[in-house]
């Protein structure tokens, strides 16, 4: 380990207590999709203090490329909540209408002047971190749940960090602090830019398209995505590259029928809730595709007005997934066909809206191999797995595909962390001792990518 690596390791370890404080603060104050005001402001403020050039609001997320937006009342409510929790007004003003995405660039080395004949500013290396909490999950309050026992369980009943994004943000901000502390040494050895991207609305698969459209990964030569635990499982394990992300579509369906008295004149009604239930049953029976993995789920349903009234309206929301875009397209075509058939069966009408879409992707083999080499040299891992098939979806794929379409490389690694319960459950939490390890690994990957260009 050379002097630069020793200093890097020391800084990551010294920041361990700070990383835990930040993670717990974020866990205590979860914010769901398009409401990440407090989280994004903390990220922007930290990046600015670390010398990064920060882009927020419409500079970082193109509004018209966003699949969904919160209602004006919801935006005002979430902004007021963030302000009440200490978020500075200057950041709230720069993130109107739920535009909570941001990124920051740290430039290393001044570009050579024109007389030198070299205007190469070096590579652009990017790291992506998701910020949103899980909506609709009430965190466990029992004494054997660590966040509850130690006083940092969610302060909300309608959202919690049940997927580790609080840890992702803490790692990203820890990386910013480490790079800033080492900037003089890095300036002496490297030329290029390091970009830290903080993305909203991953859980709904909605946040990445608008940031890609705003140029978040334009010119990026290497992109690193990260997730805690997942298939890496226990602390000490690392998955170097994730493959087989599934393409997915989130959709919602609105059924309209005709109200009637359920006792006096049921024959006059057209039961929208019955149509929705028929459609739901049919969707879960869609034949799976023989050429690759396919999924279907209906996760939320509402309908009806009273027990003695034929329901005139119903609604449900679900998702499809496929091994690739074609298979996911097959699933959505079947959804449309069965929804319309169920509506006609019960004399109702149905309107289907595609809420968001995310493509599939796989990590680049060369960059996956680099992660493995760097992790081996770093040490501290008990098990290093070359790759794992994800068989789920992640809107980091938007970033990954864009980078590779433009000739760059992208990888998505999984950092193991012990957890007492699965992701997206009320008891989810993770081993915080892995946070410094994550910061150090990403910093080493940044340096390795810059060094490759210098060579």
pLDDT score, position 112? 46
pLDDT at 119: 53
Query: Hey, what CATH class is 3-112+120-245+360-454 in?
Result: alpha beta
State the DSSP H helix or E strand holding residue 114, giving kind and residue range, or none if neither. Answer: none
Beta pairing class for 192-199 and 124-130: parallel
Q: Where in the chain is the domain with CATH 3.40.630.10?
A: 3-112+120-245+360-454
pLDDT at 204: 85
pLDDT reported for residue 377: 96
Contact between 131 and 169 (Cβ < 8 Å): yes
Listed in order, the ranges of the chain carrying CATH 3.30.70.360 are: 247-358
CB-CB contact of 265 with 370 (8 Å): no
* Whole-number pLDDT of residue 67: 87
Q: Which DSSP string do the residues of 286-332 spell out, in sequence order? A: PPPPTTS-EEEEEEEEEE-S-TTEE--EEEEEEEEEESSHHHHHHHH
Q: Which residue has the tokens 């010398």?
A: 51
- Domain 247-358 indexed as CATH 3.30.70.360: yes
Upper half-sphere CA count for residue 417 (Cβ side, 13 Å): 28
pLDDT value of position 4? 87
Q: What is the pLDDT of residue 241?
A: 98
pLDDT in tens, the chain (455 residues): 588 889 999 999 999 999 999 999 999 999 999 999 999 999 999 999 999 999 999 999 999 999 888 999 999 999 999 999 999 999 999 999 999 999 999 999 855 444 444 456 899 999 999 999 999 999 999 999 999 999 999 999 999 999 999 999 999 999 999 999 999 999 999 999 999 999 999 998 899 999 999 999 999 999 999 999 999 989 999 999 999 999 999 999 999 999 999 999 999 999 999 999 999 999 999 998 999 999 999 999 999 989 999 999 999 999 999 999 999 999 999 999 999 999 999 999 999 999 899 999 999 999 999 999 999 999 999 999 999 999 889 999 999 999 999 999 999 999 999 999 999 999 999 999 999 999 999 999 999 999 876 54
């Amino acid at each position: 380990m050379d002097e630069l690596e020793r200093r890097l390791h020391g800084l990551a370890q010294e920041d361990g207590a700070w990383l835990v404080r930040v993670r717990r603060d974020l866990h205590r104050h979860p914010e769901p999709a398009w409401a990440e005001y407090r989280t994004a402001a903390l990220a922007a403020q930290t990046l600015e203090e670390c010398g990064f050039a920060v882009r927020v609001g419409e500079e970082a997320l193109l509004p018209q490329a966003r699949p969904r937006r919160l209602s004006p009342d919801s935006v005002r409510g979430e902004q007021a909540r963030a302000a009440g929790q200490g978020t500075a007004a200057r950041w709230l003003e720069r993130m109107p209408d739920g535009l909570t995405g941001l990124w920051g660039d740290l430039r290393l080395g001044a570009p050579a002047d024109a007389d030198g004949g070299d205007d190469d500013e070096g590579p652009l290396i990017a790291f992506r971190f998701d910020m949103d909490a899980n909506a609709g999950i009430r965190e466990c309050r029992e004494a054997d749940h660590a966040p509850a026992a130690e006083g940092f369980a969610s302060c909300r009943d309608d959202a919690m960090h049940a997927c580790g994004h609080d840890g992702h943000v803490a790692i990203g901000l820890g990386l910013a602090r480490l790079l800033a502390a080492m900037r003089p040494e890095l300036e002496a050895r490297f030329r290029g830019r390091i970009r830290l991207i903080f993305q909203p609305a991953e859980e709904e698969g909605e946040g990445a398209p608008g940031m890609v459209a705003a140029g978040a990964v334009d010119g990026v030569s290497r992109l690193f995505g990260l997730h805690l635990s997942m298939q890496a499982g226990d602390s000490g394990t690392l998955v170097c590259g994730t493959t087989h992300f599934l393409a997915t579509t989130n959709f919602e369906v609105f059924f309209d029928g005709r109200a009637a008295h359920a006792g006096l004149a049921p024959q006059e009604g057209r039961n929208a809730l019955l149509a929705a239930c028929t459609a739901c049953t049919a969707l879960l029976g869609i034949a799976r595709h023989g050429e690759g993995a396919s999924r279907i789920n209906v996760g939320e349903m509402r309908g009806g007005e009273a027990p003695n009234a034929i329901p005139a309206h119903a609604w449900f929301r679900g998702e499809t997934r496929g091994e690739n875009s074609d298979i996911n397209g097959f699933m959505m075509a079947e959804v449309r066909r069965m929804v319309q058939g169920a509506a006609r069966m019960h004399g109702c009408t149905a309107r289907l809206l595609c809420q968001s879409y995310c493509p599939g992707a796989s990590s680049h083999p060369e960059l996956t191999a680099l992660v493995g080499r760097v992790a081996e040299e770093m040490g501290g891992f008990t098990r290093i797995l070359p790759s794992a098939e994800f068989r789920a979806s992640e809107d980091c794929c938007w970033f990954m595909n864009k980078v590779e379409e433009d000739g760059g490389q992208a990888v998505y690694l999984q950092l193991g962390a012990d957890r007492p319960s699965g992701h997206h459950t009320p008891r989810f939490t993770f081993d915080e001792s892995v946070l410094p390890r994550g910061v150090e690994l990403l910093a080493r990957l940044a340096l390795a990518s810059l060094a490759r260009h210098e060579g």
